[in-house]
């Protein structure tokens, strides 16, 4: 990433989005995200990724069952 673009993290301990320059302990962080809004929307991002991974797992579990 370019150095003029600030990354954002969601700090689980304090419950808010923080810029990379102010981030705390990495054990409490989610990210990096490209914007404050994206960091604040971490729950939807996690849900979307988990749903996609679950769908892919399901596809792999049943691969070849219906003539694939």
Average pLDDT along the chain: 90
- Give the pLDDT confidence score for residue 56 in this predicted structure: 95
- Looking at residues 28-56, what average pLDDT do you find? 96
The model's pTM is 0.70
- Looking at residues 29-58, what average pLDDT do you find? 96
Q: How far is CA 19 from CA 8, 14, 45, 48, 49, in A?
A: 4, 13, 18, 23, 23
């Amino acid at each position: 990433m370019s150095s003029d673009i600030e990354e954002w993290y969601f700090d689980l301990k304090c419950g808010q989005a923080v810029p990379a320059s102010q981030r705390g302990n990495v054990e409490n962080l989610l990210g990096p995200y490209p914007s404050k809004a994206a960091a604040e929307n971490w729950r939807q991002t996690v849900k979307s990724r988990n749903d996609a991974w679950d769908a892919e797992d399901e596809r792999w579990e049943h691969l070849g069952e219906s003539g694939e």
